[in-house]
Structure 1
């Protein structure tokens, strides 16, 4: 179990860092787009803009200027992956807690599987009238769905383990 705790702690920090990185990218991009700071036209017609790395002239993000693209193809995926990695970090945190079967740990697993089962598909369907949802996106939706189902089974095991642990505490 020691190896599991070490691996889960490493994955916790990696996924938490990714969540924070996505969040910072979102905040930076929104500030740049709203203020025009560090934004330059990428094409002569102005259909695309470059968001530059802070205090440089190097492009960081290349974005279509259509509002539907910005909302549904840029911000929505970044927000959802920020949430995904945050919830994943909470799942990894479950495995380096002193008490594995706890109601708090079951809640973290439940949030993660509900997010993965329902949100990617709903986001793709919501985006569909406004932007082209490519085949690769639907494949990601399917991958997230199966990940959610797997974590659902893990949450069910944790729920049963919690119940058995409570029953054992009653007998002691």
Structure 2
């Protein structure tokens, strides 16, 4: 079990290292659009936008369209992938603990599989309505569905393990 804890610890820190820049980028995008002083530039006669690195004139993010749906989708994608990696780190936290089957572990897995089942659907519907890059989003939604299925199976196994562990504790 020591090897599992070591690998889970490494993956936990890796997922946090990935999640934090995603979450920071989405927060910076929100701030840039709410307070566009200096960090947001419109180009191509206001049809496209550029978000600059903080306190510089270097380009950070380039936007193809200055429409609300495009901006919302861009920020949501970045933020939700930050959330995805953060929640994935929470699952690795479960494997780092001394007691494997806990209520908190089952809860973490449940949140993770629900996120993977539910969140891709509105984006898929939005892409179908606005009909651009639908193939990419179908692939992403399918991949998240598969990840959600595996997380669901793990949650069921953890719940069963928790029940057995609770029964075992009652007999002792």
Aligned to 2:2: 2
1:71 paired residue number = 72
Structure 1: runs of 5 or more not aligned: none
Q: What is the deviation of 1:15?
A: 1.4
- After the TM superposition, which residues 48-63 of structure 1 pair with which residues of structure 2 at under 5 Å, given as runs? 48-63=48-63
Cα distance in 1, alignment partners of residues 76 and 133 from structure 2: 13
Q: Distance in 2 between matches of 1:114 and 1:33?
A: 30
Alpha-carbon distance in 2 for matches of 1:147, 1:60: 30
Residue 119 of structure 1 corresponds to 119
* Structure 1 residue runs of 4 or more that deviate by more than 4 Å after TM superposition: none
**Once the 2 structures are TM-superposed, how far is the Cα of residue 127 of structure 1 from its aligned partner?**
4.8
Deviations 1:47-68 (A, max 9, x none): 1111111222211000121112
Deviations 1:141-161 (A, max 9, x none): 000001100111111111111
* Aligned equivalents of 1:65, 1:75: Cα separation in 2: 13
CA deviation after TM superposition for structure 1 residue 17, in Å: 2.7
Residue equivalent to 1:14: 14
Q: CA deviation at 1:107?
A: 0.5
User: What does the per-residue CA deviation read over 1:45-93, in whole Å, with 9 as the maximum and x for residues that have no partner?
Assistant: 2211111112222110001211121012x11212221221121111111
Aligned to 2:149: 149
- Provide the rounded CA distance (Å) in 2 between the counterparts of 1:128 and 1:76: 17
Q: CA deviation at 1:133?
A: 4.3
Q: Which runs of 5+ in 2 are unaligned?
A: none
TM-score normalised per structure 1: 0.91
TM-fit CA distance, 1:163: 0.9
Quote the Cα distance in structure 2 between the aligned partners of 1:107 and 1:126: 29
Count of matched residue pairs? 170
Task: State how 1:122-133 maps to structure 2 within 5 Å.
Answer: 122-130=122-130, 132-133=132-133
Alignment match, 1:41? 42
User: 1:124, 1:133 within 8 Å by CA — same for their partners in 2?
Assistant: no
Find the aligned partners of 1:95 and 1:42 in 2 and give their Cα distance: 48
Q: Distance in 2 between matches of 1:134 and 1:169?
A: 51
Superimposed CA distance per residue, residues 108-166 of structure 1 (whole angstroms, 9 cap, x where no aligned partner) = 01111111122112332245434624201110100000110011111111111111111
